[in-house]
């Protein structure tokens, strides 16, 4: 069957066979299928869906589109965590080094910004010199050296996801349970970790707006992970409000470094501790002697490693091993040349800061992409001075926007003002 037949078949709501899905993934990976036909099939999948068997086929072909790593030569339990996408969601930047400081080897393939959500790879690339696209051998070398590595899909690792992910970002084809499940799980299976913790974001700023949808996505991914012989679990976490106080690449790395320094916003620290504890629980199932069996003890271990600087040191080690200049983590990142303060026009309590609007506003300021391959402005974004539950006085700052061009401010300000509620 030709790719055109597959598009028409899926548009009519019919099932694709395992062989058809394999042919599609091979065509995408090898460049034989042009972007416009790939995008058309992605859109058909968004409308007609894929059942669990089709999703499994897509995931496995995507995972095997490059090398699938065997990490058994590395010591200890290998773990990975992945978020399904949120706004201000910089948890990987904390959880990966923190879990490594707790004794796990953290082998993670991450993504770039997707739709209105940020991506860990874009965030890490705010650090001058940082290289995410590592050859497989280098990925393993970094793991051996530091116990933690965060890399991107590459020509060698999950290359099909690289193509599909970039296209989905700019063709309105992100919000689909099977496409998200296959994208996330193909990377997890290719990277080779024994334990996979999935952070399924739910709410205004997530791709899954309701808990019911988030649970369907969680169930689909866990089934795939366990079917592949991995220890796999999911937690559904709230994404109605941006996590922490910053949205935008370098701003988020700096905030994550604060949390690793034992400071930073409480909601972000809490989410990171929860995810680390759950990841260590999976690791304890794999090697009961190496990790605490009890949840409270795992949490205490994670808190200790956060507060005594060992997790922060792991981040520095990982960044150095991946070629990054750690001085920006210590002395601060170059700042965007322009700032605009959004002031409150009344006194009261902030009851809502729409996460999707915050993500879109950061995108408008230059932190995201409109077209495939667009450069991003790592310094652009926003810092929230107030979050839901905070009191505010008329004239007080709600938020500060940062950009390299003042003409980007009005649209971002309009979007945010519409989605910040004060009562």
Among residues 47, 55, 113, which one has the least CA distance to residue 370? 113
Q: Which residue has the tokens 């590459």?
A: 154
- Check if the beta carbon of residue 352 is closer than 8 Å to that of residue 420: yes
Could you give the CA distance from residue 67 to residue 73 in angstroms, rounded to a whole number? 16
Among residues 227, 226, 207, which one has the least CA distance to residue 217? 207
Sheet holding 391-392, edge to edge: 391-392, 348-353, 420-422
Which tokens go with 273? 């501790």
- Tell me whether residue 174 is exposed, middle or buried, using C-beta atoms within 10 angstroms of its C-beta: 0 to 12, 13 to 18, 19 or more: buried
| Phi and psi angles of residue 290, each rounded to the nearest 5 degrees, phi first | -95, -15
Bridge partners of 397, per DSSP, are 343
Span between the terminal Cα atoms of the chain, in Å: 58
Which tokens go with 130? 């940082």
In angstroms, give the least distance from the CB of 351 to ligand URA. Answer: 28
Residue 85 vs 359, nearer CB to ligand URA:
85
Could you give the CA distance from residue 251 to residue 265 in angstroms, rounded to a whole number? 13
Residue 160 vs 328, nearer CB to ligand URA:
160
Could you give the CA distance from residue 137 to residue 147 in angstroms, rounded to a whole number? 14
- Catalytic residues, by residue number, are 82, 161, 168, 183, 187
For every residue of 154-195, which 3-state class applies, written as one string? CCCCCHHHHHHHHHHHHCCCCCCHHHHHHHHHHHHHHHCCCE
- Provide the pairing of β-strand 78-83 with 195-202: parallel
Task: Fill in the DSSP letter of residue 102.
Answer: T
Binding site for ligand URA (CB under 6 A): 84-85, 111, 114, 179-180, 183-184, 187
């Amino acid at each position: 069957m030709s790719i055109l037949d597959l598009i028409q078949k899926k548009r009519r709501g019919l099932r694709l066979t395992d062989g058809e899905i394999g042919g599609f993934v091979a065509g995408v990976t090898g460049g034989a299928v042009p972007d416009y036909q790939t995008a058309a099939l992605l859109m058909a999948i968004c409308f007609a869906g894929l059942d669990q068997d089709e999703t499994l086929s897509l995931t496995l072909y995507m995972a095997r589109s490059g090398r699938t790593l065997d990490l058994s030569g590395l010591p200890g339990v290998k773990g990975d965590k992945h978020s399904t996408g949120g706004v201000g969601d910089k948890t990987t930047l904390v959880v990966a080094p923190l879990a490594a400081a707790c004794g796990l080897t953290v082998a993670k393939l991450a993504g770039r910004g997707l739709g209105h959500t940020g991506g860990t790879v874009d965030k890490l690339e705010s650090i001058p010199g940082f290289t995410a696209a590592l050859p497989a051998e280098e990925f393993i070398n970094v793991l051996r050296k530091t116990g933690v590595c965060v890399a991107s899909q590459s020509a060698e690792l999950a290359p099909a996801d690289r193509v599909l992910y970039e296209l989905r970002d700019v063709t309105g084809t992100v919000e689909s349970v099977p496409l998200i499940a296959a994208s996330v799980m193909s990377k997890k299976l290719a990277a080779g970790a024994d334990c996979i913790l999935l952070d399924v974001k739910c709410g205004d700023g997530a791709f899954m707006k309701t808990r019911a949808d988030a649970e369907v996505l969680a169930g689909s991914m866990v089934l795939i992970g366990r079917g592949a012989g991995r220890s796999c679990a999911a937690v559904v976490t709230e994404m109605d409000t941006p996590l922490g106080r910053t949205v935008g690449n370098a701003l988020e790395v700096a905030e994550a470094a604060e949390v690793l320094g034992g400071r930073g916003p409480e909601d972000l620290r809490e989410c990171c501790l929860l995810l680390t504890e759950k990841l260590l629980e999976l690791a304890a199932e794999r090697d009961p002697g190496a990790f605490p069996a009890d949840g409270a003890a795992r949490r205490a271990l994670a808190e200790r490693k956060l507060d005594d600087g060992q997790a922060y040191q792991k981040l520095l080690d990982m960044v150095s091993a991946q070629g990054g200049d750690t001085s920006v983590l210590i002395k601060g990142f170059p700042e965007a040349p322009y700032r605009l303060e959004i002031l409150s026009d009344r006194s009261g309590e902030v009851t809502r800061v729409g996460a999707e609007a915050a993500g879109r506003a950061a995108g408008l300021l230059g932190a995201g992409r409109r077209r495939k391959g667009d450069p991003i402005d790592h310094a652009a974004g926003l810092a929230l001075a107030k979050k839901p539950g905070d009191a505010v006085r008329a004239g007080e700052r709600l938020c500060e926007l940062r950009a390299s061009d003042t003409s980007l401010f009005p649209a971002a300000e309009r979007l945010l003002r519409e989605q910040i509620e004060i009562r």
